[in-house]
Amino acid sequence: MMRWLSQWWRGGTAAVEPASMRDAAQLAQLHGASFAHGWGEGEFETMLNERNTLVHRLRLGRRTIGFAVSRIGADEAEILSIAVDEAYRGRGLSRMLLMTHLGHLAGRGVRTIFLEVEENNQPARRLYAGCGFMVVGRRERYYKQPNGEQLNALLMRRDLS
C-alpha cells in the first residue's frame, strides 16, 4: 500500500515540516505560480525571521511542493497563504498540510484561526470547510486581479478549542 501511495504521489513520502531560510526562493516560486500577486523571496525571508509567523513546507521526497504561512497574535492566528504545486493538487496533500499546520498553531496556544478565500475558489473553499472552517463574513472586491477585475473574499473562522 505505501509503495502504491509513493508512486501515486510521484516522488516519495510526503512530510510537513518547519520551513527555513534556505526554502525562501522555492516558497516564493510556489506562491508566484499559485496567486496573481506572488510574494518575493525577500518577503518570505522576512516572514521566516518573524517570531509571530509560522511557516511550514510540504515536502515530497526532496522536493518542496507546498507551504502554509500564518501570523499569530495572542491566542488568534490568520492563515496568510497556503498553496500546493498544481501538479500535486487533488491528492489530499493540502488537507494534510493544513491540518498539520493547525496542530502546530494549537501547540503555540492559538485558539481561533481566520483566513480569507476568494469567493469563487471552490477547491479552496471545500478544503477549508472540510477542515472545520465556517464562513463568518464577506469582503467586497477584496482581491484585485492583473486585468483589473476585483473579486470578493469570504472571511472564514475555525476554533481550535
Grid coordinates standing for 19?
520551513
Mean pLDDT, residues 33-59 taken together: 93
Q: Where are the alpha helices (DSSP H) in 19-138?
A: 24-34, 41-49, 93-107, 122-130
Give the span between the Cα atoms of 70 and 113, in whole angstroms: 9
Confidence of residue 91 (pLDDT cuts 50, 70, 90): confident
pLDDT at residue 1 tops 90? no
Over residues 55-81, the pLDDT tens digits come to 999 999 889 999 999 999 999 999 999
Q: What is the pLDDT of residue 7?
A: 46
Q: What is the pLDDT of residue 36?
A: 77
Cell 498553496 found at:
83
Q: Where are the domains of the chain?
A: 14-159
Q: Are 137 and 154 in contact (CB under 8 A)?
A: yes
- What architecture (CATH level 2) is domain 14-159? 3-Layer(aba) Sandwich (3.40)
